[in-house]
Amino acid sequence: QVQLQQWGAGLLKPSETLSLTCAVYSGSFSSFCWGWIRQPPGKGLEWIGEVNHGGSTNYNPSLKSRVTISVDTSRNQFSLKLTSVTAADTAVYYCARVSVAATFYMDVWGLGTTVTVSS
């Protein structure tokens, strides 16, 4: 059964860069895309973007100017970088496996990492 383990800095100051990594265990890495979703405190889910094993990406237009999602196939890992963070970026960030079907959708999720932006 595939498992996703994620990690990264949990406390940032405004203007810093958020950096998270997600490792994939016990499953095919190349047959899927890999994505990130976030959830501000008390609010709903927001899709951030996704990457395939070849490194091609697709981002939420509202975040595109600040987001980079990359993949390391040698380690079965993928990463999220979000630049120039503000308090509005405070959220739980989830990594997820993205199944490639008629619609790309997230079928396995990591446990989430809480990221707080505060001066």
Partner 1 sequence: SYELTQPPSVSVSPGQTARITCSGDALPKKYAYWYQQKSGQAPVLVIYEDSKRPSGIPERFSGSSSGTMATLTISGAQVEDEADYYCYSTDSSGNHRVFGGGTDLTVL
Q: Tell me the per-residue interface mask from 90 to 109 with partner 1, x by CB under 8 A, - otherwise.
A: ----x------xxxxxxx-x
If one asks whether residue 41 binds partner 1 (CB under 8 A), the answer comes out as: no
Q: Which residues in the chain belong to E strands, given as ranges?
A: 3-8, 11-12, 18-25, 33-39, 46-51, 57-59, 67-72, 77-82, 91-99, 105-109, 113-117
Question: Judging by beta carbons within 10 Å of its beta carbon (0-12, 13-18, 19+), is residue 104 exposed, middle or buried?
Answer: middle
Beta carbon nearer to partner 1, 4 or 12 = 4
Number of residues that bind partner 1 (CB under 8 A): 22
Instruction: Tell me which of 13, 44, 65, 118 binds partner 1, using CB under 8 A.
Output: 44
Which residues sit at the interface with partner 1, rule CB under 8 A? 37, 44-47, 50, 58, 60-62, 94, 101-107, 109-112
